[in-house]
Amino acid sequence: MKTKIPEEKKYLWQLTIDEFRDLHQELNKGKTYEYGIQGIAKIFGCSKAKAYSIKSSGVIDDAISQNGKIIVIDVERALRLFANKNA
């Protein structure tokens, strides 16, 4: 006879597919980031040249953290800033 294991005592291999999917979605609710000019191009679905002009325009500066050549973009914030600029 199988006994029910309390949720907090389960091992990862004991999860059902649905439980694992729910756990994965719960853990990935945090912010999403993209990196570099390529990341900006991916967010806005444009070329690298257009992505560079978006970055240079200053519209999404509050969503960008840059240290030297490393660029990190908060995706949600960048989209929100870009939408507000175009509204």
Q: How far is CA 56 from CA 3, 40, 51, 61, in A?
A: 61, 12, 9, 9
Please determine, for residue 1, whether its predicted confidence score (pLDDT) is greater than 70: no
For residue 31, what pLDDT is reported?
75
CA distance linking residue 40 with residue 75, whole number of Å: 9
Angle at 15 between CA 27 and CA 5, to 5 degrees: 115
Are 83 and 51 spatial neighbours (Cβ–Cβ below 8 Å)? no
Region 3-8 average pLDDT: 60
Mean pLDDT of the chain: 86
Has this prediction a pTM greater than 0.75?
A: no
- Separation of alpha carbons 41 and 9, rounded Å: 43
